[in-house]
Structure 1
Amino acid sequence: MKKKLSIVDIANSLNISKTTVSFILNGRAREKRISEELVERVLKYVKEVGYKPNSLAKSLRTGKSNTIGLLVQDISNNFYATIARQIEDLAYKNGYKIIYSSTENDTQKTQELIAMFRDRHVDGYIIVPPEGIEEDIRSLIKDGLPVVMFDGYIPKVKTDYVVVDNLFSTYNATRYLVDKGHKHIAFITFKSGQTQMIERLDGYKQAMKESKNPTLIKEIDFLQEDKPMIDPVRDFLNEHKEIDAILFGNNRLSIFGLKVLRDLNKRVPEDVALISFDDYEFFELYNPSVTAIAQPIGDIADNVINILLRRLNTSNDNDSKEHITLHTTLKIRKSTE
C-alpha cells in the first residue's frame, strides 16, 4: 500500500521546513512573507503528488473541523430526509459539511453516536432527542459545543430548539373531523415520552374532551421492522369496529394504517376518514389522496442551521437560548371528504 504523504515528506522533498509548507497550505504565506516563487513551487509539487491534508490533524491544530453532526430518529423517513438535505445544502454554502445518522430513537445508540462525533471533533450538533440523553447534552454544552434540537426538545436542558405547534395541530385536525360529523375518532401514535409526541396526544385529547366524544388511543412501540408495528394497528381496528376516523401520529404510522385498512376492506373515506401528521408526496398520489398536517420543512431547516451557524461564529455564549415554534398547515384532501 502506498504511503500517504505528509507535510514532512513534502518539506523533505523540497528541502524546506515543514513550518513553511504548513503556512503555505493554510493560506498564511503572505502573512509570513514567504516569496511567491516558493509558494508556487510548493503548490505545484502538492498538485503533482496529489497531496491531501489530514482533516483530523488540521482540526486538532485549528480547533475546528467544519463539520456538523446531525442525529435524527430515522434518516430514511421522508420528513427527516428532506430536512437533512436542506440543512446539508445550507451548511455547505456556509463552509460546513454534515455527518448524519439514525438513532432509531434508542438512547444507547444515540449516546454512542454522540461519542463518535466527539472523536471526529464535529463543531456543533443538530439533534432530534430521544429520551434519556440529558447528561450527554449537558456535557456537550459544558464543553462549549453548540446544540440545536428540532422536532422535540428536552425541557430540563437549556438548549436552542425549533419545533412546531404540535398540540394545536392535532387539536385542530381532530376538531375538523368532529365538525365533519365523526364521533369515534381514533388516535394511533408511538409510545413515547418525547415532547412532540406528548403534545400531539394532548391536542387530540383536548379536542375529544370538548366534543364529549370518547377517546380511542393506541400507542405502539417504535421499532425498525414494519410487521411488529402493523399487527397492533390491525388488532386495534378489529377490536374497535366503531371507529369512523383515524388521526395518525406521524407519516410512517399513516402508511401502516393505509395497508391495514386495505387488508380489512375498509373504504377511505366512506368507512373511515384518515389524517396523517406529517405530509408526504405519496399522500397526494394515493387514491384517495390523504389529508395531512404539513410541517414547514423549509422554515425548520432554515431556522435550525441559522441558529447553529450563529452559535459557531460567535464567541459570546450567553445564557439566552432561541425557542422557535412554527405553524403547521392542515392540507385537506380526499381521505376526509
Structure 2
Amino acid sequence: MKSLSIKDIAVAAGVSITTVSFIINGKARDKSISEAVIKKVEKIIAEKGYKPNQIARSLRTGNSNIIGLIIEDISNSFFSRIARLIEDKAYKKGYKIIYSSTENSLEKAKDLINMFKSRKVDAYIISPIKGLEEDIQHLIADNKPVILFDRNLPDLDTNYVGADHFKATYQSVESFIKQGKKKISLVTTDIDVQQITERLAGYEKALADHGMVYNENLVLKVHFNQEEKETMAQMEKLFHSKEIDAVLFATNYLAISGLKVLKKMGKQVGNDFGVIAYDDHEVFELHTPGISAVQQPLEEIAETVIQLILSQLSSKSKLDNQHIILPAKLIQR
C-alpha cells in the first residue's frame, strides 16, 4: 500500500502543499491558517495515517527528533529499566531514543558516538567511561546537548544526573553495624568509575566513624567482565576463609552471583549472616528471606535527564550546566 504524501493530503483537503506542511510542522497558527482548515487536515491525517519521512524532515529542519543513549550494558537490569523509562518519557515529548552498550570498552564508546553523529541525533545521554572526555567535549563544542548520568567525568563541564552512592553505601554499612555485625565484607568491581569508588569510600567512612578497622582482606574487587564462574570461585574463597557475618554487594549482578555461592555453601541469609545488594532487583524480593537492597530513584533520574535535555534543546542560548544528585534509599527486607 502506497504511503500517504503531503501532496495527497493537500488534494484531499483542497489546500496547498505549503499549508499542509505548515500544519504538520506545528506552524499553522504562526501563519494565520484558520482553525477549520487545521481541523480538516488533521482529520485526513488521522483517518489515512500519514507518517512523515524522518530523514527528509531532519535534512529540512536540522532536527532528527532522535536522542542517542549510551550505557554500559543494556542486559543489566539497572540500565535496562532506566533506558525504558527514558525512552517512554522521551516518546511522550516527541523524541525517539536509540541506544547501545559500551560494555565498558573505550573503543566501542568512541565508535558509538561517531555512529550517533552520523545519524544526526539531536542530543546525547551518556553513562561514560574514563577516556571519553575529548569526544564528549567535541559534542559540547558542536552545541549538542549532553547529559551524563550514573557516572560523572569531573574534568568535563557538562550536565550530570546521579544518585548519592557514598551516602547510600554508608547507610548500608551502618545498618549492619547497628545489627551488631563485626566482620563486614564489601564485594565490588575493579572498574575505575566514580559511582564505584564512591561506594568503596562510603564503606570505609562508615567503618571509621563507628570505630571499626578497615581490613583490605574483607574487600573483594572482582575484575569487570570476567566469567561468572571465576567471580563465584573468588567469593566462595572469601566466604570460607574469613569469619564474615555480613556482606554488601556493590552491584546487583555481583549480588546474584553471591547468592548462588551462599546457596551452594549452605550458608543461610538471616540474623547470623546479613546481605545487602546495591541496585534493587526482583530476585531480591523473591528470595527467601528477602534481600535488603539499595534502590536508586530510577523514575526521578529518568525524569530529570529528559527535562534537562528538553530545556537544552528548546533554549536559544546556552544554559548553565547542572549537577543533580538524587538520594538513593535502603530497602530493608
Encode CA deviations 1:254-274: one digit per residue, 9 max, x unaligned.
Answer: 001000111122111255211
Encode CA deviations 1:13-54: one digit per residue, 9 max, x unaligned.
Answer: xxxx998996786566898899xxxx9xx9999999998554
Q: 1:104 to 1:224 in 2, by over 3 A?
A: farther
User: Is the contact made by 1:190 and 1:221 (CA closer than 8 Å) also made in structure 2?
Assistant: yes
User: Is the contact made by 1:158 and 1:321 (CA closer than 8 Å) also made in structure 2?
Assistant: yes
Taking the aligned partners of 1:174 and 1:51, their CA distance within structure 2 comes to 57
Encode CA deviations 1:172-216: one digit per residue, 9 max, x unaligned.
Answer: 111111221211111111112111001000010112234235341
SS at match of 2:258: helix
Q: 1:4 to 1:108 in 2, by over 3 A?
A: farther
- 1:180 aligns with 179
Encode CA deviations 1:91-128: one digit per residue, 9 max, x unaligned.
Answer: 11111111112111211111111111111111111111
- 1:201 aligns with 200
- 1:263 aligns with 264
- 2:239 aligns with 237
Taking the aligned partners of 1:43 and 1:281, their CA distance within structure 2 comes to 44
Between stretches 271-280 and 243-252, larger displacement belongs to: 271-280
Q: 1:144 to 1:262 in 2, by over 3 A?
A: same
Q: 1:326 to 1:46 in 2, by over 3 A?
A: closer
- In the alignment, does 2:274 pair up with 1:273? yes
- 1:152 aligns with 151
SS at match of 1:289: coil
SS at match of 1:279: coil
SS at match of 1:211: coil
User: Is the contact made by 2:292 and 2:332 (CA closer than 8 Å) also made in structure 1?
Assistant: yes
Taking the aligned partners of 1:191 and 1:322, their CA distance within structure 2 comes to 29
Q: 1:289 to 1:4 in 2, by over 3 A?
A: same
SS at match of 1:187: strand
User: Is the contact made by 2:204 and 2:214 (CA closer than 8 Å) also made in structure 1?
Assistant: no
Q: 1:260 to 1:315 in 2, by over 3 A?
A: same
Encode CA deviations 1:228-270: one digit per residue, 9 max, x unaligned.
Answer: 43333233333x3311111000111100100011112211125
CA-based RMSD = 3.2
TM-score of the superposed pair, with normalisation by structure 2: 0.85
1:1-337 matches, within 5 Å, as 26=25, 53-209=52-208, 210-212=211-213, 214-215=215-216, 216-223=218-225, 225-238=227-240, 240-318=241-319, 320-333=320-333
Taking the aligned partners of 1:182 and 1:32, their CA distance within structure 2 comes to 71
Unmatched tracts of structure 1, length 5 or more:
12-16
Between stretches 227-236 and 288-297, larger displacement belongs to: 227-236
1:231 alignment partner AA: A
Identical counterparts, % of pairs: 47
2:325 alignment partner AA: T
1:328 alignment partner AA: A
TM-score of the superposed pair, with normalisation by structure 1: 0.84
Taking the aligned partners of 2:304 and 2:93, their CA distance within structure 1 comes to 14
Q: 1:213 to 1:228 in 2, by over 3 A?
A: closer
Unmatched tracts of structure 2, length 5 or more:
11-15
Taking the aligned partners of 2:85 and 2:56, their CA distance within structure 1 comes to 29
1:248 alignment partner AA: F
**Structure 1 residue 57: deviation in Å?**
3.1
Taking the aligned partners of 1:300 and 1:310, their CA distance within structure 2 comes to 15
Number of residue pairs the alignment of both structures matches: 327
2:321 alignment partner AA: K
Encode CA deviations 1:258-312: one digit per residue, 9 max, x unaligned.
Answer: 0011112211125521111111122111111001111111111111111111111
User: Is the contact made by 1:223 and 1:229 (CA closer than 8 Å) also made in structure 2?
Assistant: no
User: Is the contact made by 2:167 and 2:202 (CA closer than 8 Å) also made in structure 1?
Assistant: yes
